Amino acid sequence: MENNKKDPNSPENKEEKTISPSQTTVEKPTTAKNANTNKASSSDNKKQPVQNRNTQKEQHITKASSWWIRLGVLLSLAIAIIAALGCYWLYLQLGKQDSGQAKLGQSITEQTKQNQSLKYEVQQVALTSNKRISTLEQQQLNDTKAYAKLAELQQANKVLQERVNVIAQRSPNHWMASEAEYLVRMAGRKLWLENDPQTAMGLLQSADERISAMQDPALTPVRKALAADINSVKSLKTTDITNTIFELDSVIDGLTSLPLNHINENFAGQSKSEPITGSIDDWQQNLAQTWRELTDGFITVRKRTTDLEPLLSPEQQWYLVENIRNKLLQAQLSLYRFDQTNYQQSIALADKWLQQYFDLTDKNTLETIEALDKLAKVKVEKITLNKFQVSPLLQQLVTYGEIMPAEELTQ
Mean pLDDT, the chain, integer:
76
Is residue 267 helix, strand or coil? strand
Band the pLDDT of 20: cuts 50, 70, 90: very low
Last residue of a domain, one of 184, 203, 238: 238
Least confident interval from 22-26, 339-343, 381-385: 22-26
Do 206 and 323 fall within a single domain?
A: no
pLDDT tens-place string over residues 124-157: 888 888 888 988 898 888 888 888 988 989 898 8
48 within a domain of the structure (yes/no): no
Do 245 and 367 fall within a single domain?
A: yes
Helix (H) or strand (E) holding 16: helix 11-19
Do 176 and 190 fall within a single domain?
A: yes
305 vs 121, more confident:
121
Do 334 and 219 fall within a single domain?
A: no
203 within a domain of the structure (yes/no): yes
Band the pLDDT of 266: cuts 50, 70, 90: very low
Contact 221, 211 (CB under 8 A): no
Buried b / exposed e along 83-103 (16+ C-beta atoms within 10 A) = eeeeeeeeeeeeeeeeeeeee
Domain enclosing residue 201, as ranges: 172-238
Does residue 79 have a pLDDT over 90? Answer: yes
270 within a domain of the structure (yes/no): no
349 within a domain of the structure (yes/no): yes
pLDDT tens-place string over residues 318-369: 888 899 999 999 999 888 887 888 999 999 999 999 988 888 888 888 999 9
Do 256 and 318 fall within a single domain?
A: yes
Do 245 and 376 fall within a single domain?
A: yes
List of residues 6+ apart from 402 with CB closer than 8 A: 218, 396
Do 224 and 345 fall within a single domain?
A: no
278 within a domain of the structure (yes/no): no
Q: What is the dihedral of CA 83, 89, 94, 95, to 10 degrees?
A: 140
Amino acid occupying residue 356: Q
pLDDT tens-place string over residues 267-294: 444 445 566 666 666 777 777 777 777 6
pTM of the model: 0.39
Contact 4, 38 (CB under 8 A): no
Do 370 and 325 fall within a single domain?
A: yes
| Total tally of structural domains belonging to the chain | 2
Last residue of a domain, one of 185, 206, 238: 238
Contact 234, 187 (CB under 8 A): no
Over range 209-221, report the average pLDDT: 86
130 within a domain of the structure (yes/no): no
> Which one, of 345, 320, 319, 316, lies nearest residue 330 by Cα?
345
> Which one, of 29, 19, 13, lies nearest residue 69 by Cα?
19
At residue 325, the pLDDT reads 92
Q: Per DSSP, which regions of 84-128 are E strands? A: none
CA distance readout (Å), 308 to 198, 226, 266, 270, 312? 53, 66, 11, 19, 13
CA distance readout (Å), 275 to 279, 282, 285? 12, 12, 10
Contact 289, 276 (CB under 8 A): yes
72 within a domain of the structure (yes/no): no
Q: Report the percentage of the chain scoring pLDDT > 70.
A: 69
Contact 69, 22 (CB under 8 A): yes
Is residue 268 helix, strand or coil? strand
Do 317 and 256 fall within a single domain?
A: yes
Do 229 and 250 fall within a single domain?
A: no
Do 191 and 243 fall within a single domain?
A: no
Band the pLDDT of 184: cuts 50, 70, 90: very high
